Amino acid sequence: MKIKVDQLSKVFKGGHRALDNINLEIGDGMFGLLGPNGAGKTTFMRILVTLAEASSGTITINEMDLSKNRRDIRAMLGYLPQDFRFFSKLKTWEFLDYVASLAGLKDSRKRATAVDEMLESVGLFEVRERLANKLSGGMKRRLGIAQALIGTPKIVIVDEPTTGLDPEERIRFRNILSKMSQKDMVIILSTHIVSDISSICKDMALLNKGKIMYQGSPEALIAQAQNHVWEVNATQNQLEELKEKYSVISTIPSGDMWDVQVVADSVEGFEAQSIAPNLEHAYVYFMKNSTRSL
């Protein structure tokens, strides 16, 4: 499966350019689309799932033009939108059964088996009789990914899936996606949360102000931040000074002091030790430097 995006733009009324001539190539496995809120991620997701149209440019999926083969491409898609909703009077299994029937599973016995297997895989089988609107926030997101996957799609598009979830649910959700990505499908994960990308994606892109700033592996992006991440053992007053001058990533209490991680080309006036970067460091460093050119 291959998705190719060529010179894609989206301009809204009033002249706001949500997407600005973006180019991407996406293959099988987990692909992360990372960027701040308002970067254009949701607009791009909506175009991919045929809920919106581009102003210019093309998207091809296995050589099929999205604008000319919308019905065929829709049949290949599973989608979890950022604002996922469902029929409040349906039980969890009833909602998933309804979605499965829409996805083409017409045989009631096969559909019932598929529904139970999917509920089991996302950890919702024990609450299958509960009304969907009575599920916890994390369970609702898991039901969302279940409805996106129930029709065995070739492409699954997930928009900001872990926003608002507690750390345990976020890890559970990422594990579900990681397991699914081992199958023969494309999963596109759009998020502003760096840890969602770093733990499960082998390929990624950075989107900011409608422009693709980077595409490649997380490891290659991390390499660009080498020798640009520092740790300083600082007093409270020094901590405030560091916050004013530099991009402070984390602060950890250390006795009467603070262990402070800073992203910068250099740290002047402090005893700073260079440390190995992670993806969050690299994201901050790259976005800080690339934004200057926008």
Q: What is the mean pLDDT of the chain?
A: 90
Q: Are residues 209 and 239 in the same domain?
A: no
pLDDT value of residue 156: 93
Determine, yes or no, domain membership for 15: yes
Confidence of residue 292 (pLDDT cuts 50, 70, 90): low
Determine, yes or no, domain membership for 265: yes
pLDDT value of residue 274: 96
Q: Are residues 79 and 131 in the same domain?
A: yes
Q: Are residues 50 and 190 in the same domain?
A: yes
pLDDT value of residue 160: 85
Q: Which residue has the tokens 């700073």?
A: 272
pLDDT digits (tens, 9 = 90+) for 254-273: 999 999 999 999 999 999 99
Region 41-53: what's the mean pLDDT?
A: 94
**CA separation for the pair 264, 230 (Å, rounded):** 8
| Spatial contact of 125 and 119, defined as CB atoms under 8 Å apart | yes
pLDDT value of residue 289: 80
Q: Are residues 157 and 245 in the same domain?
A: no
Q: Are residues 126 and 264 in the same domain?
A: no
Q: Are residues 184 and 265 in the same domain?
A: no
Whether the per-residue pLDDT at 172 is higher than 60: the answer is: yes
Full-model pTM: 0.88
Whether the per-residue pLDDT at 183 is higher than 80: the answer is: no
Domain residue limits at 269: 227-275
Whether the per-residue pLDDT at 94 is higher than 70: the answer is: yes
Whether the per-residue pLDDT at 199 is higher than 90: the answer is: no
pLDDT value of residue 85: 73
Q: Are residues 203 and 64 in the same domain?
A: yes
Whether the per-residue pLDDT at 193 is higher than 90: the answer is: no
Q: Are residues 263 and 131 in the same domain?
A: no
pLDDT value of residue 283: 93
Q: Quick one: tokens of 54? A: 């581009």
Q: Quick one: tokens of 107? A: 């045989």
Q: Are residues 153 and 54 in the same domain?
A: yes
Whether the per-residue pLDDT at 253 is higher than 80: the answer is: yes
Whether the per-residue pLDDT at 58 is higher than 90: the answer is: yes
Which are the contacts of 147, defined by CB distance < 8 A and separation ≥ 6?
A: 78, 80, 86, 95, 96, 99
pLDDT value of residue 198: 83
**CA separation for the pair 220, 208 (Å, rounded):** 19
Determine, yes or no, domain membership for 253: yes
Task: Give me the percent of the chain exceeding a pLDDT of 70.
Answer: 97
Region 208-220: what's the mean pLDDT?
A: 94
Whether the per-residue pLDDT at 221 is higher than 90: the answer is: yes
pLDDT digits (tens, 9 = 90+) for 21-40: 999 999 999 999 999 989 99
Whether the per-residue pLDDT at 188 is higher than 80: the answer is: yes
Region 76-83: what's the mean pLDDT?
A: 88
pLDDT value of residue 87: 64
Q: Are residues 108 and 27 in the same domain?
A: yes
- How many folded domains does the chain comprise? 2
Q: Are residues 48 and 165 in the same domain?
A: yes
Determine, yes or no, domain membership for 25: yes
Determine, yes or no, domain membership for 286: no
pLDDT value of residue 86: 66
More confident residue, 61 or 171: 61
Determine, yes or no, domain membership for 281: no
Of 217, 243, 262, which closes a domain? 217
The dihedral through the CA atoms of 68, 73, 75, 79 has a sign that is negative
Instruction: Average the pLDDT over each of 32-41, 72-81, 178-187, 279-288 and give the range with the smallest value.
Output: 178-187
CATH number at residue 55: 3.40.50.300
Rounded to whole angstroms, what are the CA distances from 40 to 2, 185, 195, 204? 22, 24, 20, 15
pLDDT digits (tens, 9 = 90+) for 108-132: 999 999 999 999 988 999 999 999 9
Q: Considering only CA atoms, which of 157, 188, 153 is closest in space to residue 27?
A: 188
Q: Are residues 61 and 184 in the same domain?
A: yes
pLDDT value of residue 104: 86
Whether the per-residue pLDDT at 18 is higher than 60: the answer is: yes
Which are the contacts of 3, defined by CB distance < 8 A and separation ≥ 6?
A: 24, 25, 26, 27, 48, 59, 60, 61, 155, 186
Determine, yes or no, domain membership for 294: no
**CA separation for the pair 282, 286 (Å, rounded):** 6
Region 31-59: what's the mean pLDDT?
A: 94
